[in-house]
Structure 1
Amino acid sequence: MENVLTNARLVLENEVLQGSVQIRDGAIADIAEGPSRSGEDMAGDYLLPGLVELHTDHLETHFSPRAGLKWNAIAAIQAHDTQVAGSGITTVLDCLRMGSGEEGGFARGEMRELADAIETAGRAGRLRAEHLLHLRCEVSTADVVDQFSDFEHDPAVRLVSLMDHAPGQRQFQTMDQYIFYYKTKRGLSDDAFKAFVARRLESSERYAAPHRTMLAAQCAARGITLASHDDATPEHVEESVGHGVRLAEFPTSIAAAEASHKAGLSVLMGAPNVVRGRSHSGNIAASDLARLGVLDVLSSDYVPFSLLHAPFILAEEIDGMSLPAAIAMVSATPARAIGLHDRGRIACGLRADLVRVQHDSGVPVCRSVWRQGDRVA
């Protein structure tokens, strides 16, 4: 099967080229400057590589749209997939939570059930994007290793992140933040909150270090990319490097981001942070890291469309940042981070994962999406 997309502004790895792309058998067969005599007219719109999403919690909101309520898994996945593909995302790593804490989470077996439903939906041709897995491991919980073992032989697992949301750890360096998340939002009394904090600290002290070591070793043996989460200090980064971490997710300080970048880790921040101009939790702004040259990857986190919106904001607002460099943060760099070398760029021989975007100013419009040459949105 062959197709030509012509009269497009092609966002290549190092330049924007007015030209055409020839697609053959699901791959990019040729790239030519100038218009083609035949093919589908892109009317001067941008043509981007399909976006690669490494960290989205969005599926959870469809699977459990209300506290204590579980939706039909296939229906939840299809709803999530529709929004993902409509945002230009052609490869998505769906986050599944490992570790059940008293503040929330899923019972053992529920995440395996959801992963099985993703695989079933994909085999049945129900999904527009390609779905892989990112296991978010809460290392301070007693059952995180047991839940992780449910995915021992699953080739869809491409990324594992190590998290500890106990007070004083990573994201919650100050009690002010922790009080807001776990006392104010949950309406806990002073005594109930004090007891909750004590239990979380005891659990972190008991489980976090051995679970980090155990999970890191298993990921190394299986060739799974390992991510840190919310590192706040250079000491945290040093620990992450020692565990073989290659991706630094959401560092909470400039010092941690700079140390991660210097150590060769790809620094990931949230695209919603870029769109809003600040972190929703009061931590560092992603755009500040971009200005310092230490931002490598963007993730949509909780708003899928932000992954398409944020790179255009960075290219417009950050001095010296080109549109190709900004688009690489949501395509080529995240693909490389998890070893997917067949996508993420508009280049001959790679998958024809492509996104047509209309953008002159303001919010971009996703007009069409192709995955391996097939139009999916």
Structure 2
Amino acid sequence: MSRAALEIDALMALHPKGYDLSLDRIQQLLDRLDNPHRKMPPIIHIAGTNGKGSVSAFCRSMLEASGHRVHVHTSPHLVCWHERFRMAAEAGAEGGGQLVDDDLLCATIRRVAAANAGAAITVFEILTATMFVLFSEHPADVAIIEVGLGGRFDATNVIPGPAATLITPISLDHQAYLGDRVELIAAEKAGIIKAGCPVVIGEQLEAEARDVLIGTAERLRSPMAVYGQDFMAYGEHNRLIYQDEEELLDLPLPHLTGRHQFGNAAVAIRGLKAAGFLISEDAIGRGLASVAWPGRLQLLSTGPISEMAGPGAEIWIDGGHNPGAGRVVAEAMANAEERQSRELFVICGMLNTKEPRGFFEAFAGIAKHVFTVPIQSSEAGLDPVALASDAAEASLSAEPADTVEAALKAIATAWQRPDNPPRILICGSLYLVGEVLAANRTPPR
């Protein structure tokens, strides 16, 4: 275990789990640290239910392709805490940024914890303050900061004036904290919109969410660009066509799988423009072609887990866990022409805070069989028997399995067809995806 992980474990034992739905504690801690959040490079702040991480990855990839140095903060992590803090490359260095060095992260966490002096706080707030210290003390041209939960009271929302605010598609998730109607969730996400600061609104399938976001931007007099109104993207002849009020770009398809990534790429392109970064068409294209975002419709091509399902089988992983994610992941699995003839098997584990049936309904008529598994790395995992019942209620053939490995073995022995190897999707939780990446020895880099 890394030194930073040991420090975080100690904090987890000391401080309460969960979320603090206010900004008072994080602001008091930042005051003690001499307000590093006010000494940052230009910030692109990203909220939404689905697609935040993908938009962050697109922004980083395009910015780095154009030669910019980029800090990136995302959450949660998949395998190690360091994934949350990607540090910009040093001046003159080739290539993009790297995950934070363990010694640097450990030392910074200790500084922040010392400044907090044992006051009541959550670990997420301490890590958010750690991010602001790291990013303010190491030079970069831009910082991309992803919201952790919601927006209005998220610890990252102490940012006074972002270069641009980006809001991705909104659907039901975290209802216990954000509300049980999409317009209530949208109001929480809209809390990151700042008066006079540009905002880019991604495609919203729910009119109520779109109306709340637009209404907030209008009230705050924030320059606004809305997907489908001011900009858009679509596939044509195996290319991505992006169009806004100023230009039309003919680009390579994104390296990330799924048609939903067209909209995420468009938000990133329009968001960089809103933030004042004039990226060339060539750099945008190179960024789209090289973008990587682990654990989101990722194909496992090497490693112990990838070899367990038999010759020729495809294993995909995705951390989506709400009905909106279920729809786009199921569509991606069903619509890829080269994979339509393969039978789809789903291995799913979920936390007890999610809505399994809404997620599973998207796979009706697409998945041949579902195996439900426990999540070993969380005490909040749903019982596989109950989860299989949820899948059955969504008209899916389903059964529980003890582990992902056991489910893969069952597919390899009982369902394998040499003339038509299966597709296997391991999904339902980022915790589960992290476990699979660790067992496969392919953690994010």
Fold match (TM-score > 0.5): no
Higher relative contact order (CA 8 A, sep 6+): 1
TM range (shorter): 0.3 to 0.5
More strand by share: 1
More helix by share: 2
**TM-score of the pair, normalised by structure 2:** 0.29
Relative to the length of structure 1, the TM-score reads: 0.32
